[in-house]
């Protein structure tokens, strides 16, 4: 509704790899020179080969195919998570993401049990300004984009075991 005031930003970090450090901006014409100048003086780490490779992936539509395949894989993993946890847990998060929030009554206990089982999960407390504040919602942040395909079902079973022993 205000094209002269809108900037679109994107990254290939989640789809191709964070080490590539590739992103993009679509700017209104009056901002291009200012942003290019700021980038010239602040970021000397953007390499050309990665940019050219991404451009080729986009031009050949291989990037679109890759993103579609990733979305499907992540959707299946989220469905597996929901199936394993069933109706015993409240799971929040959109189906298109790379993680879900599993509500728990006691984050610290859940994290301790997960760690004892060798399971790495995040927690909602990491995202609060005051993580120990009373009355804030608690939950585990379960990522399903990173685990290798062959270990994901086992990791879900361990997570289910951890959560089965906790109050909802």
For 68-109, what is each residue's pLDDT tens digit? 998 899 999 999 999 998 778 999 988 778 899 999 999 999
Residue 144 clears pLDDT 90, i.e. is over it:
no
In this predicted structure, the answer to whether residue 57 has a pLDDT above a threshold of 70 is yes
What does the alpha-carbon distance between residue 113 and residue 159 come to, in Å, rounded to a whole number? Answer: 9
For residue 68, the model assigns a pLDDT of: 92
Lowest mean pLDDT among 51-60, 106-115, 120-129: 120-129
State the Cα angle at 6 between 51 and 95, rounded to 5°: 70
Cβ neighbours of residue 74 closer than 8 Å, sequence gap 6 or more: 96, 97, 98, 144, 145
116-131 average pLDDT score: 87
Q: Whole-angstrom Cα distance, residue 120 to residue 43?
A: 33
Q: Which residue has the higher pLDDT, 163 or 128?
A: 163
Which pLDDT does position 131 carry in this prediction? Answer: 65
Range 149-157 average pLDDT: 92
Proportion of the chain above pLDDT 70, given as a percent = 96
pLDDT digits (tens, 9 = 90+) for 1-36: 777 889 999 888 878 877 778 888 999 999 999 998
Distance of CA 5 to the CA centre of its chain: 28
């Amino acid at each position: 509704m205000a094209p002269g005031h809108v900037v679109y930003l994107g990254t290939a970090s989640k789809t191709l790899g964070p080490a590539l450090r590739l992103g993009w901006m679509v700017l209104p014409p009056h901002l291009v020179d200012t942003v290019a100048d700021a980038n010239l003086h602040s970021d000397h780490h953007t390499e050309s080969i990665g940019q050219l490779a991404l451009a080729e992936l986009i031009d050949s539509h291989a990037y679109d195919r890759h993103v579609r395949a990733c979305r499907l894989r992540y959707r299946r993993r989220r469905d597996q998570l929901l199936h394993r946890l069933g109706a015993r847990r409240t799971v929040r998060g959109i189906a298109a993401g790379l993680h879900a929030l599993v509500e728990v009554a006691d984050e610290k206990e859940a994290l301790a049990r997960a760690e004892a089982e060798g399971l790495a999960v995040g927690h909602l407390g990491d995202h609060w300004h005051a993580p120990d504040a009373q009355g804030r919602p608690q939950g585990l942040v379960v990522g399903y984009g990173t685990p290798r395909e062959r270990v994901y079902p086992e990791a879900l079973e361990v997570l289910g075991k951890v959560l089965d022993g906790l109050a909802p």
